[in-house]
Amino acid sequence: MEFSQLRTLIHVAELGSLSKAADRLHIAQPALSRQIRLLEEELGVRLFDRHGRGMVVTDQGQDVLRHALRVMAELEEIRATVADEDAPLRGHVAIGMPPTVADILSEPLVSAFRDTHPEATLRIVSAYSGYLLDWMHRGEIDASVLYDPKSARTLRIQPLLEEVLFLIGPPDAGLSQDVPVDFAALEGQRLLLPSAGHGLRAILDKWAAERGFALFVPVEADSYSTLKGLVRGGHGQTILPRAPIHHDLATGNLCAAPLRNPEPARRLILSYPTDRPIPRLARFAGQIIAQNVQRMVRQDVWPGRLPEAP
């Protein structure tokens, strides 16, 4: 087994095509095909299902791929330890974020990688915290932004923000960011929210129960973009952080008001697994994420409370 075979496996799996991987790696396609075939023969398993539209990783191939990503990350760490601390890094890193966070931070993160580590490849995984936590433990992602993880003891964590939630409505809802809405006023209101069990929904259901009522949620949607679209269409109101709808508020596509009594909030953390070293690319991504969260809070783009300095 050779490093070149593992590198080929990673790129073909990501791109789903030998020809695209050949273009990226500047290696003839027959040579890449031979590397995959030799690796399959050595392991005694089929790594890809081939069809007319490309190549799809098999279940056994996914298991091999996870190990290949770790091996190549360790190889890059070896190079990095003897390289100039400020030298651009190579390699691959996968960073997880909840959808609302990915909508805010993906662009500055990609820009920072392009400017500082142009030869590195970055994968941004957008999913809810429960999925991200599982994938991080399985080694599929290197670091993640999470909301209030229940198993923080298995993680290295860095608090980022206590994020304030807002009531979001269509343009004609009459909501103002200068006029808070009492949480009790939500009783009987038509709300569009994520399904039960979602972290955001759990927070809101808890506060409503403590005030003696249940939220009226005739439509549930676990897609952040779906919730925004339904609110814009006049189907009800939702509750979200303000940052990912900053542009919608500026253009008048949506309106928002803070909530009070209580002020719903949730804690956002940056997390790394404890069972393996943190790759330098993952540490760099974490630094960029933390810097941009701080910047947006200070600019009042992302309302919330920053953690106190140690």
Same domain (yes/no): 43, 95: no
Task: Quote the tokens at residue 287.
Answer: 């630094």
Q: How confident is the model at residue 251 (pLDDT cuts 50, 70, 90)?
A: very high
DSSP result, 113-132: HHHH-TTEEEEEEE--HHHH
Query: For residue 244, which of 112, 143, 97 has the smallest C-alpha distance?
Result: 97
Give residue-wise pLDDT tens across range 92-109. Answer: 899 999 988 999 999 999
Give residue-wise pLDDT tens across range 108-167. Answer: 999 999 999 998 889 999 988 888 888 888 888 999 999 876 655 678 889 999 999 999
Structural domain count, the chain: 2
Same domain (yes/no): 288, 165: yes
One-letter identity of residue 243: A
- Could you say which of 82, 113, 135 is where a domain stops? 82
CB atoms closer than 10 angstroms to residue 9: 26
Q: 310 pLDDT exceeds 60?
A: no
Same domain (yes/no): 66, 145: no
Same domain (yes/no): 46, 142: no
- Could you say which of 56, 82, 108 is where a domain stops? 82
Residue 86 to residue 116: CA distance in whole angstroms: 9
One-letter identity of residue 275: D
Residue 130 to residue 241: CA distance in whole angstroms: 19
Give residue-wise pLDDT tens across range 36-75. Answer: 999 999 999 999 998 877 889 999 998 898 888 878 777 7
Domain that holds residue 152: 87-310
Q: 309 pLDDT exceeds 70?
A: no
**The predicted structure's pLDDT at residue 173:** 93
HSE at residue 43, side-chain half, CA atoms within 13 A, is 21
Same domain (yes/no): 59, 145: no
CB atoms closer than 10 angstroms to residue 185: 13
Bridge partners (DSSP) listed for residue 258: 166
- Could you say which of 82, 110, 135 is where a domain stops? 82
Token pair 């299902």 is at which residue? 49
CATH number of the domain where residue 24 is located: 1.10.10.10
What backbone torsions phi and psi does residue 100 show, to the nearest 5 degrees? -65, -35
CATH number of the domain where residue 228 is located: 3.40.190.290
Same domain (yes/no): 91, 60: no
Same domain (yes/no): 233, 299: yes
SS3 72: helix
